[in-house]
Amino acid sequence: MIDIARALADQQLLGAALGPIDTWSTWVAVLKAAFGLDLTAEELAVFSSVAGNRAPPRRRVRELWCVIGRRSGKSRIAAALAVFIALFTKHRLAKGERGMILVLASSVEQSRVVFGYVRAFLTESPILAGEIAETTANEIRLKNGVVIAIHANSFKTILARDSLRRGFLLARRDLRATGYGDLHLGPSRARDHQRYAHRHQHALPVPPGPST
């Protein structure tokens, strides 16, 4: 099984669109920890510096929350994670059932940016490009039965997903009053998507956290 670090670094996979992995060292350390992978001594120091000196999790986390500065690659990482979870994670889908990777952006404009990144991660890879079954204005449907959908964070939009049985939520917001943004990653079902969208449309900005 290919892990997140290898997928990001491999120029035949996500690395084809991500570029030199050295410039993403902080993200790699955080994501390896989130997926329960062993960290090198250097990665452990990086993780500790942005996680409040907490020890890394011993197994894959159910949810990951990152509060970080602007221009730190949140949208690209959200797109990379969407593709990784869609194609490199084992899914137990019944025949005819679809899996949904739902990426929520803070605005329609931002959702278009993330969609472009998702499409690039797939099309720039000579291997992943062959996994695309169909592309629409907001969704990329894959041959394994998983759909990557990118939408603005609208309660009405998410409410239309009532029929979703299994899903995975990625939400990326800008907290403009603080100069920071956040990225949320976690498995959930349709009702959780709706609850998240409704709550965070009216959420107050959180205090600034460590910048990566």
Question: In terms of Cα–Cα distance, which of 188, 212, 211 is closest to 199?
Answer: 188
55: three-class secondary structure by DSSP = coil
Residues in the chain: 212
**Residue carrying structure tokens 């030199």:** 20
- The pLDDT of residue 64 is 83
- C-alpha R_g of the chain: 16
Find all residues with CB under 8 Å of 24, minimum gap 6, and list them. 8, 18, 73, 77
Distances (CA, A) of 90 to 1, 35, 84, 87, 145: 9, 14, 11, 8, 12
- The pLDDT of residue 160 is 47
State how far the Cα of 32 lies from the Cα of 39, in Å rounded to an integer. 7
The CATH architecture that domain 63-201 belongs to is 3-Layer(aba) Sandwich (3.40)
The token duo for 182 is 């956040």
- The pLDDT of residue 157 is 55
State how far the Cα of 191 lies from the Cα of 102, in Å rounded to an integer. 13
Find all residues with CB under 8 Å of 191, minimum gap 6, and list them. none
Domain segments of the chain: what residues? 63-201
pLDDT in tens for each of the 212 residues of the chain?
899 999 999 999 999 999 999 999 999 999 999 999 999 999 999 999 988 888 899 998 888 888 877 788 889 999 999 999 999 988 887 888 888 888 888 788 888 999 999 999 999 999 999 999 999 999 999 999 999 999 887 655 554 443 333 445 555 555 444 444 556 666 544 444 444 444 443 333 333 333 33
- The pLDDT of residue 172 is 53
- The pLDDT of residue 156 is 55
- The pLDDT of residue 193 is 44
Find all residues with CB under 8 Å of 8, minimum gap 6, and list them. 14, 15, 18, 21, 24, 28, 31, 80, 84
Element (H, E) at 50: helix 41-50
